[in-house]
Amino acid sequence: MHTKTLIELSTALHNGDISSVELTQHYLNRINSHNSELNAFITVAEDHALEQARAADSRLQQKTAGRLTGIPLAHKDIFCTEGLRTSCGSKMLDNFIAPYNATVVEKTNAAGMVTLGKTNMDEFAMGSSNETSFYGQVQNPWDKQYVPGGSSGGSAAAVAANLAPIATGTDTGGSIRQPASLCNLTGLKPTYGRISRYGMIAFASSLDQAGPMAHSAEDAALLLNEMAGFDPRDSTSVEQDVPDYSATLNDSIEGLKIGLPKEYFGEGLDPQVAAAVETAIKTYESLGAIIKDITLPNTSLAVPTYYVVAPAECSSNLSRMDGVRFGHRCDDPKDLLDLYQRSRGEGFGEEVKRRIMIGTYALSAGYYDAYYLKAQQCRRLISDDFKQAFNDVDVIMGPTAPTTAFKLGAKTDDPVAMYLADIYTISTNLAGLPGMSIPAGFVKGLPVGLQIIGNYFDEARLLNVAHRYQQATDWHQQSPDNFK
């Protein structure tokens, strides 16, 4: 049951071969037996899920069900869920029960999908290994000594281990694509503004974007159909029609122009990862694509630019966590300042504090021009590189991450080494472009991801390009031995 595609599950539900309650119970049982090995879920919403499943079953009986009605999913614990804890991986929000649903959750609910629970994540989505979570590290189902990637590591582990058929994630600098790469999944970060950020706890508002984490492009398209769209409650969401992303999956890619940026194949890239990516590119050539060498000359500015912009924005966003309105409050504060200081000091973890400090510094009078303003200028240069490149090519390809999964603990003492895990993903967030990671082979038993970057609002093409590859290969169908 847990190895079926969403379309197979949907067909089984619509034909009455299985009920949503049975399907949901099947996944809840898998979570109960395997979550302790992986720590993929922070909250398992058993009662809530079964209630949603019963409602889905009545819609299925009354023939008012949609394509995804009755299908379970897991939400990253960054999305507000009414009545369920929304922790964002932080002690600060350990006691926070959201009073409303994020638009993404509202939309999956309206589609009749069933929320199995909330997945583990790096604290406030800051990290590339899921090791900064207050709820502890997540283990990679492919090898439990390795990280699943971050910050959407819980969603990645849950789907890779078949504890949920699909999940949501968010990506500020790579947090959908990098864990997808490390766990053999198909993850898509859409164009900035494609999906509403309302009710998605903000890390860096000008970079954050939600997206699906799935086994295949076909599954990802189905969930994106539900997640995407304009939302008047998010002033950065874009008022543009949502195409049916499933409708164009099979389009021909004959003549597709693929750009390979030379900066994505240089120093720091594991040669075996490079080899797997090159094999994938050959497959595209055999499918009729045309390969072009391109350059994105400002790539080396991406990580330093991001680590000014993202901390600057997070220092402002996280100021609302002050021990007054919601979240953690210290015991017996002696005055207001003590309340702020101790509540924040106790509630936030080390990485979050580091970012707040850097961001506050970069925004302070006297340093603003030297850091923040400079970073914004670099950001423009990075966007212009892509603009230039898309004059000549339809999509850009390269590795998603420089290496396969690394060992738990390997980079926890070296923040800069950790930051470099996102070296190929961060630029697309700075430019607001859509990017995707798809399974492209294994190195020593650990998955490799191929990244596909598209032009603005070209998600349909990315999914099409990914799907055609998945018709020709079976990497995406591989599951880790212990979770088949």
Interacting residues with ligand GLN (CB under 6 A): 125-128, 151, 171-175, 203, 310, 422
**Catalytic sites, residue numbers:** 76, 151, 175
Task: Report the DSSP beta bridge partners of residue 79.
Answer: 200
Q: Determine the Cα angle at 393 with ends 180 and 152, to 5°.
A: 15
For residue 440, which phi and psi values (nearest 5 degrees)? -140, 30
Task: Compute the least distance from the CB of residue 340 to ligand GLN, in Å.
Answer: 24
Residues in the chain: 484
Task: Compute the least distance from the CB of residue 403 to ligand GLN, in Å.
Answer: 14
Task: Compute the least distance from the CB of residue 101 to ligand GLN, in Å.
Answer: 21
Compare residues 49 and 224 and give the one whose CB is closer to ligand GLN: 224
Compare residues 39 and 172 and give the one whose CB is closer to ligand GLN: 172
CB 401 within 8 A of CB 424: yes
Q: Determine the Cα angle at 187 with ends 184 and 190, to 5°.
A: 165
Which residue carries 């599950």 as its tokens?
Answer: 9
Compare residues 77 and 422 and give the one whose CB is closer to ligand GLN: 422
Task: Compute the least distance from the CB of residue 308 to ligand GLN, in Å.
Answer: 12
CA separation (Å) from 261 to 77, 282, 308, 385, 475? 34, 16, 24, 11, 24
Compare residues 34 and 355 and give the one whose CB is closer to ligand GLN: 355
Compare residues 337 and 416 and give the one whose CB is closer to ligand GLN: 416
Compare residues 152 and 196 and give the one whose CB is closer to ligand GLN: 152
Task: Compute the least distance from the CB of residue 406 to ligand GLN, in Å.
Answer: 13
The tally of CA atoms less than 13 A away on the side-chain side of residue 314 is 26
171, 292, 222, 216: which is closest to 468 by C-alpha? 216
Task: Compute the least distance from the CB of residue 351 to ligand GLN, in Å.
Answer: 8
Look at the alpha carbons of 27, 6, 2, 139 in this order and tell me if their dihedral is positive or negative.
Answer: negative
CB 401 within 8 A of CB 426: no
Q: Which residues are CB-neighbours of 398 under 8 A, at least 6 positions away?
A: 260, 261, 264, 265, 277, 424, 450, 451, 453
